[in-house]
Amino acid sequence: MSVNTHPPAELDPSDKSLWVSLRNQSAPILNVEMQCRPGEMLALVGPSGSGKSTVLRTIAGLQKVDFGHIRCNGETWLHTKHRNDVKVQQRHVGMVFQHYALFPHKSVEENVSLAIRGSTRAEKKQIAASWLERTNMTGLEKRKPGQLSGGQKQRVALARALASNPSVLLLDEPFSAVDQQTRRKLYRELAKLRRGLDIPMVLVTHDVGEVQQLADSMCLIHKGQTLQQGSVHEVISAPESKAIAKLLGHQNLFAASVSNQDSTHTSYELGGTETLHGEPSDLAPGTRVTLLIAPSAISLADNSSHDNAEHNVLHGVVRDAVSMGDEWSITVHLHTVTKSLRFRVPQHLLSSSHVAAGSPISVNIRRSGILAINDTHSM
């Protein structure tokens, strides 16, 4: 079940969470609800053009909306009904942009110091040095942005955002401009750094793999509308509709209907001839569903599989198999269902002769890896 994303009716000064409710009737269209707790990394996920950056800019006060209600750190930043719109400078937002937004004529130390307010020059220098140390930039204080690598520029941008002592940290696709190797290093550094941060953190991305490595929760939006929010595992493993499943990149989606259910299992009929057994549910017989089969629930069948109550066995032929490092990526045409099944198998478990196109193949599908999405509740 998704978390409650509606701002509470009464303002609680002790609530440091970020609450966002936005409506925009003209372009860009928005209908967004989300919540992020202190110390939590919330990934705002959606395809290009879904409104992710617009939401971030609105939180920061850089963009206006028709109707909005934003609370953070026990304060109301926006309430259009009450004509309350706190200025950008007073929202205490730390923001990391996709392309750094550093001042090219300023040194690393100066770029970070500019974000620090209400301190003496000596204090600013000390605070900047502390954050540059925490972002692994010690020794590069006097360099200009043009003398830095992409990863180093992003570290400076992060240090600058945090040096301002923000009430919320907003990260707008911060890793998209760096190479894969640098990205992995930055992932690790951010994961380590955020342990000591007791503020809401919102990461905008379209990369589900990035979400799984960095975030605690995720909010999926599409065409400016919130579709689902919850823990990362919950949203990815249990999407609430077929449309959400597709947006998350799930491929093993099969139309089915409930044929039987009792206290031990639920049976689903596929294509009129194949039956799969899943975990017990409260779905009534005849209910139309979409079955999501997790790739991790699929394995090669052996002779003992037919007697294993925890597995289903399906038969088909290999459509294609591609060697990808230490895994085979396999697509199977099933005998009884006019749809392909996709999964991966470690290289050491089979030889190339066993996965040649046209070869017969049998697979196990673990019952616990089958999710039934009730199509009557889907969008």
Rounded to whole angstroms, how far apart are CA atoms 112 and 203?
A: 21
- Tokens at 271, concatenated: 């294509």
- pTM for the full predicted model: 0.89
What pLDDT shows up at residue 154?
94
Write down all domains in the chain, each with its CATH number in brackets.
Answer: 18-243 (3.40.50.300), 253-377 (2.40.50.100)
* Total residue length of the chain: 379
Helices (H), the chain: 52-60, 108-113, 121-134, 150-163, 180-193, 208-214, 232-237, 242-247
Give 49's Cβ-side CA count (13 Å radius): 2
With vertex at residue 56, the alpha carbon angle to CA 378 and CA 218, rounded to the nearest 5 degrees, is 40
Place of tokens 């949203």: 235
pLDDT (0 to 100) of residue 1:
41
d(C-alpha 344, C-alpha 326), whole Å: 10
What are the distances in angstroms from CA 265 to CA 60, 261, 308, 371? 49, 6, 14, 12
pLDDT of residue 310: 73
Q: What is the dihedral of CA 320, 323, 329, 331, to 10 degrees?
A: 10
Sign of CA dihedral 210, 215, 220, 225: negative
Kindly list the averaged pLDDT for each block of 10 residues, start to end, along the chain of length 379: 62 86 91 96 94 95 95 95 94 92 95 91 94 95 95 95 96 90 92 93 94 96 95 95 94 94 91 87 93 93 61 91 89 89 87 76 93 75
- Assign 267 to helix, strand or coil: strand
CA distances from 118 to 25, 87, 115 (A): 39, 17, 10
Q: Which residue has the tokens 């009557």?
A: 376
The pLDDT of residue 26: 87
Dihedral sign (CA 304, 307, 308, 313): positive
pLDDT at 379: 46
